[in-house]
Amino acid sequence: MTKRRWGTRVAPERLNWVIAGSKKQLVKQIAKSANVSEAVALETILDHLQSELEPNGLPSWWPREETLPEPA
């Protein structure tokens, strides 16, 4: 399994989120298939997602009706 070398992450943070178990398993499966750690898999997914963001900060496929209104 490929992991990042210790100390190479910039401003590392631990996540304290609760997500659906099926989504956690999906990240785990992707990581296993790619032979990388779950952290590297998630960072890679987020790097790809970041490349798809529009000026409003959302990817084009994000459901518009589910977005929160802009604060007044």
Q: Does some domain include residue 38?
A: yes
Can you give the residue range of the structural domain that contains 36?
Answer: 21-55
d(CA 61, CA 40): 24
Q: Does some domain include residue 3?
A: no
pLDDT digits (tens, 9 = 90+) for 31-71: 999 999 999 999 999 999 999 999 999 998 888 775 566 77
pLDDT at 6: 67
Centre a 10 Å sphere on the Cβ of residue 31 and count the other Cβ atoms it contains: 20
Rounded to 5 degrees, φ, ψ at 53 are -70, 140
Read off the pLDDT band of 11 (50, 70, 90): confident
**The model's pTM:** 0.73
17, 18, 44, 16: which is closest to 30 by C-alpha? Answer: 44
Q: Does some domain include residue 45?
A: yes
Domain count of the chain? Answer: 1
> 40 to each of 10, 51, 63, how far by Cα in Å?
13, 17, 27
